[in-house]
Amino acid sequence: MKATYVKRIGLLRRKAGMSDQEFLDHWLNVHAELGRKLPKLRRYAVNFVDRTRFPQFGWDGFSELWFDSEEDLIASYGSAEANELMADVPNFTTEIAPLVALEFPVVGI
């Protein structure tokens, strides 16, 4: 089986003092709009975690950004658009733990 995409996943913790709604509003309406502009980005998803249901998880959400190759991901994160995106991070989160994964779709897209 061949990987179809390289995916950058970012595990996020919301900024201290922000409500869940403030965190999600900023993520979806400000940060995600900046993320849309990344060059070579194929897909982007925001995943909010309800910590009252899953307190053991330790993260408030995670992002998924798909690229055709690791070279495309590296080029994208070296762009001016990525600099603007990353400058927004402290406005709504205290930590992002990034990782890169190869995606092997089994069912669906």
pLDDT (tens digit per residue) in 8-34: 999 999 999 999 999 999 999 999 999
3-state SS class at 91: helix
Q: Which CATH number fits domain 16-103: 3.40.50.970, 3.40.50.1000, 3.30.70.100, 3.20.20.60?
A: 3.30.70.100
- Whole-model pTM above 0.85? yes
pLDDT (tens digit per residue) in 37-87: 999 999 999 999 999 999 999 999 999 999 999 999 999 999 999 999 999
Please answer whether residues 99 and 9 qualify as being in contact, where contact means their C-beta atoms are separated by less than 8 angstroms.
Answer: yes
Order of all β-strands in the sheet with 61-67: 43-48, 61-67, 5-14, 93-103
Q: Any idea where the domains of the chain sit in the sequence?
A: 16-103
